[in-house]
């Protein structure tokens, strides 16, 4: 076992995380990725190759697809969301795409959308039902641009905006522009669950707030690519640029990630995943913000 894997395993054992299905990867400059695995999922041993639900880490990916569309001129962050998603109600008109990106849209909560469409929980929602639910509501949660409020509904809308402006299926777009170029061969956006873990609810089928099925190996490679700026200088700069409220108040949330200005002397990265998705995804690059889901 490498020294990196040994350290990771000691930490996991200390906090009892190896008592559950878990895979954690670690890497640092000059070292090959190392993984520590434990348990089974769906009758298969958990390894860095088993596909898991990435939950809200998906927001990083969807924001990257939106940033690529912005850099290419297909998407204007200042454009009204309703200009793209015309089926949304009139009260959505003041909400800009950048409001969705930075969680300041004031969009209705997921619970209100669930009640509006008459389903019992998020695992019965789809992107289309989210849009239909919003169309049935008569007001947002609050005005856009006045407060930060983490919004799964907002990122479902952002994913649908990307689909409309690019004219591409979201998974096909991700495969072509991100997964294939970066070598993320075990990743997909949306689709049926890879397995059903006994005693746990099915992951929500919506795409944008979640929906990324991937492996610990792919997630670690994704993080390395972000830290190295492999998505291109313009896209990387946009992804790492924090947003703000409409009155100019700065935020610490950029495009799908929280941003910290802290730097360390040596690039490093860790990623962990458990039965409900990744437990943690963060990096500590030398000259770049930290990345958090």
Task: State the SS3 of 78-124.
Answer: CCEHHHHCCCCCHHHCCCEHHHHHCCCCCCCCHHHHHHHHCCCCHHH
The mean pLDDT of the chain is 86
Average pLDDT over residues 97-117: 97
Average pLDDT over residues 17-28: 80
Please report the pLDDT score of residue 272 as a whole number.
Answer: 38
For residue range 63-83, list pLDDT tens digits in order: 999 999 999 999 999 999 999
Q: Which residues of 199-223 are buried (b: 16+ CB within 10 A; e: fewer)?
A: eeeebbbbbbbbbbbbbbbbbbbbb
Please report the pLDDT score of residue 201 as a whole number.
Answer: 79
Helix 152-166 vs helix 58-71: crossing angle, to nearest 10: 40
Q: Which residue has the higher pLDDT, 222 or 287?
A: 222
For residue range 33-47, list pLDDT tens digits in order: 888 888 887 788 888
Please report the pLDDT score of residue 11 as a whole number.
Answer: 73
- Predicted TM-score of the model (pTM): 0.87
Under the banding of pLDDT at 50, 70 and 90, the label for residue 261 is: low
Region of 210 (left: φ > 0; alpha: ψ -120 to 50; beta: rest) is: beta
Torsion angle of C-alpha atoms 250, 146, 259, 98, degrees rounded to 10: -100
Q: For a pLDDT cut of 90, what percent of the chain falls above it? A: 65
Please report the pLDDT score of residue 37 as a whole number.
Answer: 86
For residue range 151-209, list pLDDT tens digits in order: 999 999 999 999 999 999 999 999 999 999 999 999 999 998 877 777 777 899 999 99
Task: Give residues with Cβ within 8 angstroms of 249, minimum separation 6.
Answer: none
Q: Is the pLDDT of residue 269 over 60?
A: no
State the DSSP H helix or E strand holding residue 213, giving kind and residue range, or none if neither.
Answer: strand 212-214
CA–CA separation, 148 vs 168, rounded Å? 30
Please report the pLDDT score of residue 199 as a whole number.
Answer: 74
Under the banding of pLDDT at 50, 70 and 90, the label for residue 260 is: confident
Average pLDDT over residues 137-154: 97
């Amino acid at each position: 076992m490498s020294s990196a894997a040994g350290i990771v395993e000691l930490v996991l054992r200390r906090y009892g995380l190896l008592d559950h299905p878990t895979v954690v990867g670690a890497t640092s400059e000059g070292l090959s990725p190392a993984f520590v695995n434990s348990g089974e999922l769906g009758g298969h041993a958990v390894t860095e190759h088993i596909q898991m639900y990435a939950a809200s880490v998906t927001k990083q990916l969807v924001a990257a697809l939106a940033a690529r569309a912005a850099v290419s001129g297909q998407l204007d962050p200042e454009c009204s969301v309703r200009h793209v998603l015309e089926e949304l109600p009139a009260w959505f008109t003041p909400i800009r795409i950048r409001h969705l990106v930075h969680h300041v849209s004031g969009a209705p909560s997921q619970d209100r959308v669930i009640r509006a469409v008459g389903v019992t929980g998020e695992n019965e929602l789809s992107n289309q039902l989210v849009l239909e639910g919003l169309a049935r509501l008569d007001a947002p949660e609050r005005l856009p641009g006045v407060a930060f409020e983490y919004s799964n509904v907002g990122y479902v809308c952002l994913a649908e905006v990307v689909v409309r402006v690019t004219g591409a299926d979201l998974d096909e777009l991700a495969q072509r522009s991100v997964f294939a170029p970066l070598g993320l061969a075990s990743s997909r956006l949306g689709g049926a669950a890879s397995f059903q873990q006994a005693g746990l609810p099915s992951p929500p089928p919506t795409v944008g707030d979640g929906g990324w099925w991937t492996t610990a190996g792919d997630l670690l490679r994704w993080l390395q690519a972000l830290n190295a700026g492999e998505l291109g200088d313009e896209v990387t700069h946009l992804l790492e640029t924090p947003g703000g409220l409409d009155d100019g108040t700065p935020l610490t949330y950029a495009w799908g990630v929280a941003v910290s200005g802290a730097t360390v002397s040596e690039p490093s990265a860790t990623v962990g995943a458990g039965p409900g998705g990744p437990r943690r995804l963060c990096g500590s690059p030398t000259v770049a913000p930290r990345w958090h889901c």
